[in-house]
Amino acid sequence: MTGRNLVTTIGRAARAALFAAFAWLALATPAAAQPAWPTDGQWIWLANDPEEGGLHNDQRDVESLWYYVRDGYLFLRMKNRGPAGWCATCGQSREHARYKWLFDTVGNDGVLQGGTVRNTEYMLFTEDVDNNLVGEVTFIDRDPLGDYNTRWSTTNPPNYVTNTPVGAPFANYQRVIGAVDSVLVNPVPSIATTQYLGIPQFGTSTQIGYRVYGDSGAIGVPPDENSDGTPGPFVDGVYVDMYVNLSLLGSPSTLRLMWLTDQEDNNLDQAPCCDRPDDGNFIVIPLKATLTIEKDVPGGNAQDFAFTLTPTSPAGAPTNFSLDDDADGTLPNTWTSATLDPGSYTVVEGAVAGWTLGSLTCSNGNAYASSIATDAGTRTATLGLVAGTNVSCRFVNVQQVAGSITLTVVKDALPNDPQDFAFTLTGQAGFSLDDDANATLPNSQTFVLPAGSAYTLSETPLAGWSTALQCTGGAGVSGATATLSNTLPAGSVVTCTYTNTKLATVVITKQSNEVSAGTFDFTTNLPGAGAFVLTNGAQEARTLVPPGSYVVTESAEPGYVLQNITCDDSMGTSTFATDLTTGAATLTLSPGANVLCVYTNGELGHLIIVKDATPNDAGQSFAFESGLGGLILTDDGSAPGDCSTPSINSFCYDDIAPGEYPVRELVAAGWTLTGISCTGGQYTVDLANATVTPTVPPGGTMMCTFTNQKIPPAAAQAIPTLGETATMLLGLLLALGALVHLQRRQVR
């Protein structure tokens, strides 16, 4: 076996042992000790980040960010525009990618100054420290005597670069090494390849953990599809997910976050090369949930009602409290807790003789979506509370009256809104309800009606809202009208809930950096026409859009390049995915969304490179290199061509996006580059490196001329030819022979 084969075999065996060790550790560790990752539908959107060009093939260009809080853990997600930058070289001048979260837990004084984050207390990041294409995740606190860098420095042992320090004086740090998911990628590719870019990796413990995988969120399944439905893997980028036990952060109730990416330099709190929030703002997230329980008895009553709040996941001790709905202050009519840990809860009202729970409604007062289920029959609300949620539950009780039926009308607006909704009910004065936090109008009303009569309940239609009606207790439903039959028995309890969904508005705006006036074609499945055309500065508005998923696609326009798509919802509750390759924006609209999407195009330009040599020499080649492609020119003295007329002394880079394009000449031996000049736009010249960087304007044509001078021969004596050399040698020999002969004669 050769030495090379032996090393390869040993390397494979070591990797196999490493993966086996990770698998054993995963099996040996109790599942309950490690938190379960959120499902894709549970992540809470934080922000989108615009695309910045040139970030090393998008390996560290963050597209979107999410978070989730559960079971005492904070989960954080970055979506990368490209694969995770953990490879053998990655084309960088330094090291591989690092993805960082910084936490401001004390003083609310964290700030981003330039590319440096200051005044944060903790940092969580993942990277490939030892360059073996398997990542590590590290949690570190700031050195009170310095900063993160002093903790990280190899000159301050024990340090984080070479090991995981333990013991005093600092306790808030640890590292977990990742493992490649060999089930998804089997066989595991060679460490030396770059196939690890995007391969799922996992690093888990009871305190911190991470994973890197493809953009569909599926683990242990075939490669993910791209957003356009074509096969992956991971062309749309990868998710870089991390978690941290909140106890490491001091169990705060709110948190200020900052994210950065870099390429593993020693300044941990900086992003000198790479990505950070464009607005420079910290993201504030709540870590606790708020719950309010309200007791409502129409007309008021001194009857006490007992409640039990029970945490079910994670399980916890119940909380008992009582409410009533009268004017004295013995008991309140509301109970609120703003410090609940995210999780699952039940709220149960105890049974009271002679009373009926006419309705039980719960609503979320903000954009943090909790799961809510109510059952008036069992007097139970089942809640899945997420961090930041503000849920209110109203228990409406009615005292039973012989020979009557009870009707409760409930208003549920999506989203909660001060809009008033008008109702009519047979035999009653008209009334209105709304679904907001103020007390001007209630969100429910209860009626005690004589049995044996028929009743009709209707809601007045309202522009901009859709209506759905659901009734329990024996009422018939048709559209927005409920009918109570005269055969309903006395004692019946009927609840009718009107759910009104606010319709969304979507505006598509075209921005084009152009010289000529272009037109741009769009297709969409938004309500209305399936196709429309926009010019620069024009808009297309779609109103009365039901919540749901829609796609808006700009067709490729000859002579233009699609440079950016940005979408924003003023409500902050919709989500978006964009694809510059296909020109598509996928909009997931929430109720009442007000969305603006801007499509930015640049008119394609042209760059002409010209060779001007003195003297003209059609046999001399001059080579150039550029990100647009290399080329070779000569100069025979003819006039340079343009983008429609070819020439041997010029070349046209046609239909290129506006922007900077460095071009470098590989100066030929025997020639010197004496100058570079351009017309048609701005440019910079680095003559020492034979480079020009023109900035091609939208729709413009730039011409850059490289001027060369042939170096004249050095002033020196002409070198004799071979024949001349032979003649000279013969003459020298003859002269030498004559001299010898003369000396012999003199001796005689």
- CATH number, domain at 572? 2.60.40
| 283, two tokens | 């993201």
Q: What is the mean pLDDT of residues 411-439?
A: 92
Nearest to 432 by CA among 453, 462, 403: 462
Between 238 and 224, where is the model more confident?
238
**From the CB of residue 39, how many other CB atoms can be counted at a distance below 10 Å?**
9
Note the pLDDT of residue 697.
92
Rounded to whole angstroms, the Cα distance separating 586 from 472 reads 37
| 2, two tokens | 């050769």
Nearest to 323 by CA among 412, 416, 407, 393: 393
Rounded to whole angstroms, the Cα distance separating 239 from 223 reads 14
Q: What is the mean pLDDT of residues 112-140?
A: 82
How do residues 73-83 score in pLDDT, each as one tens digit? Answer: 999 998 887 66
Local confidence band at 98 (pLDDT 50, 70, 90 cut-offs): confident
Domain membership flag for residue 747: no
Asked if 622 and 692 sit in the same domain, the reply is yes
Asked if 198 and 126 sit in the same domain, the reply is yes
Residue type, 226: N
Tell how strand 289-296 and strand 390-399 pair up.
parallel
Asked if 66 and 21 sit in the same domain, the reply is no
Give the DSSP letter of residue 89.
-
How do residues 484-497 score in pLDDT, each as one tens digit? Answer: 999 999 988 899 99
Asked if 202 and 210 touch (Cβ cutoff 8 Å), the reply is yes
Local confidence band at 146 (pLDDT 50, 70, 90 cut-offs): low
Mapping DSSP onto H, E and C, the string for 275-301 reads CCCCCCCCEEEECCEEEEEEEECCCCE
Domain membership flag for residue 464: no
Mapping DSSP onto H, E and C, the string for 482-522 reads EEECCCCCCCCEEEEEEEEEECEEEEEEEEEECCCCCEEEE
CB neighbour list of residue 2: distance below 8 Å, 6 or more residues apart: none
Note the pLDDT of residue 1.
38
Residue type, 574: S
Q: What's this model's pTM, rounded to 2 decimal places?
A: 0.58
How do residues 357-413 score in pLDDT, each as one tens digit? Answer: 988 888 887 767 778 888 888 999 999 998 888 899 999 998 888 899 999 999 999
> Into how many domains does the chain fold?
5
pLDDT over 80 at 86, yes or no: no
Nearest to 650 by CA among 710, 714, 600, 607: 607
CB neighbour list of residue 191: distance below 8 Å, 6 or more residues apart: 11, 15, 132, 133
Asked if 612 and 566 sit in the same domain, the reply is no
Q: Is 2 helix (H, G, I), strand (E, B) or coil?
A: coil
Domain membership flag for residue 28: yes
Domain membership flag for residue 493: no
Q: What is the mean pLDDT of residues 566-586?
A: 91
Q: What is the mean pLDDT of residues 622-644?
A: 91
Asked if 404 and 529 sit in the same domain, the reply is no
Q: Is 24 helix (H, G, I), strand (E, B) or coil?
A: helix
pLDDT over 80 at 448, yes or no: yes
Asked if 592 and 611 sit in the same domain, the reply is no
Domain membership flag for residue 720: no
Local confidence band at 453 (pLDDT 50, 70, 90 cut-offs): very high
CB neighbour list of residue 508: distance below 8 Å, 6 or more residues apart: 522, 524, 532, 534, 539, 540, 541, 542, 552, 597, 599
Nearest to 175 by CA among 201, 146, 140, 200: 140
Note the pLDDT of residue 196.
37
Note the pLDDT of residue 224.
41
β-sheet bridge partners, residue 606: 701
**For the domain that residue 296 is a member of, what is the CATH number?**
2.60.40.1140
Domain membership flag for residue 473: no
- What does pLDDT average to over the chain? 81
Note the pLDDT of residue 743.
52
Local confidence band at 231 (pLDDT 50, 70, 90 cut-offs): very low
List the single range of 78-87, 242-251, 613-622 with lowest mean pLDDT: 78-87
Mapping DSSP onto H, E and C, the string for 434-478 reads EECCCCCCCCEEEEEEECCCCEEEEECCCCCEEEEEEEECCCEEE
Note the pLDDT of residue 405.
92
Characterise 219 by phi-psi region: left (phi > 0), alpha (psi -120 to 50), beta (else).
beta
Asked if 550 and 669 sit in the same domain, the reply is no
Asked if 439 and 541 sit in the same domain, the reply is no
Asked if 564 and 580 touch (Cβ cutoff 8 Å), the reply is yes
| 67, two tokens | 């978070």
Asked if 308 and 244 sit in the same domain, the reply is no
List the strands of the sheet with 417-425, edge to edge: 431-435, 417-425, 455-459, 481-484, 476-478
Q: Residue 686 belongs to what domain range?
A: 605-710
Asked if 618 and 655 sit in the same domain, the reply is yes
**From the CB of residue 574, how many other CB atoms can be counted at a distance below 10 Å?**
23
Residue type, 365: G
| 584, two tokens | 């598509």
Mapping DSSP onto H, E and C, the string for 101-141 reads EEEECCCCCCEEECCEEECCCEEEEEECCCCCCCCEEEEEE
Contacts of 184-193 with C-beta under 8 Å, sequence gap 24+, read 184/219, 184/220, 184/221, 188/15, 188/19, 191/11, 191/15, 191/132, 191/133, 192/88, 193/88
Asked if 474 and 485 touch (Cβ cutoff 8 Å), the reply is yes
Q: Is 729 helix (H, G, I), strand (E, B) or coil?
A: helix
286, 316, 343 - which closes a domain:
286
How is 506-563 classified by DSSP, letter by letter? EEEEEEEE-SS--EEEEEE-SSS-SEEEEETT-EEEEEEEPSEEEEEEEPP-TTEEEE
Domain membership flag for residue 169: yes
Asked if 294 and 280 sit in the same domain, the reply is no
Rounded to whole angstroms, the Cα distance separating 104 from 673 reads 55
435, 457, 479 - which closes a domain:
457
Domain membership flag for residue 536: yes
Asked if 511 and 653 sit in the same domain, the reply is no
pLDDT over 80 at 720, yes or no: no
568, 584, 603 - which closes a domain:
603
Asked if 604 and 656 touch (Cβ cutoff 8 Å), the reply is yes
Q: Is the peptide bond before 158 cis (omega within 30 degrees of 0)?
A: yes
CA 520 to chain CA mean position, Å: 28
